[in-house]
Structure 1
Amino acid sequence: MADKLRITQIRSTIGRPAKHGRIVRSLGIKKMHQTVEHKNDPVILGQVKKVSHLLKVEEV
């Protein structure tokens, strides 16, 4: 298992439940196609799992 995750938003939160938008925002993603890196821990993995249909995740 990798030490970090590279997370990129590939789909819009428009038309999705407000909770999905808040989760993407809490990951530090502010706009489409923005990439952020986070440590690979259970909290981040849980958030990513909730909105996995909106994100692309790569192990770094």
Structure 2
Amino acid sequence: MEKLVVELIKSPIGYKYDQKATLKALGLRKLHDRVIKPKTPQILGMLEKVKHLVKVEEISEEE
């Protein structure tokens, strides 16, 4: 299954509450925090909402 590495590169200060809540749901709290998430439609939708605040890299996991 494909995985995504998501890094918070811009502060959410000054942005709407729902965008801050989306970052919190993704597990991103501080600048340069990185999390690994599965590539699902739900996660891709969340990333689309905050694409101006995060950097996304795709990695593949060999099983």
* Common topology (TM > 0.5): yes
Q: Does 2:51 correspond to 1:37? A: no
Identify unmatched segments of 5+ residues in structure 1. none
What TM-score results when the alignment is normalised by the length of structure 1?
Answer: 0.95
Deviations, residues 23-47 of structure 1 (Å, cap 9, x unaligned):
0010011111000000000000000
Which residue in 1 is equivalent to 2:22?
Answer: 23
- What is the CA RMSD across the aligned residues, in angstroms? 0.9
Judging by fraction of residues, say which structure has more helix.
Answer: 1
Quick one: which amino acid aligns to residue 20 of structure 2? G
Identity %: 39
Q: What amino acid is aligned across from residue 37 of structure 1 in structure 2? A: I
* Structure 2 residue ranges without an equivalent (≥5): none
- CA distance in structure 1 between the partners assigned to 2:56 and 2:32 by the alignment: 12
**What is the CA–CA distance in structure 1 between the aligned matches of 2:6 and 2:34, rounded to whole Å?**
6
- The alignment of Structure 1 onto Structure 2 pairs a total of residues equal to 59
- In our comparison, the structure showing a higher alpha carbon Rg is 2
- 1:12 paired with 2:11, answer yes
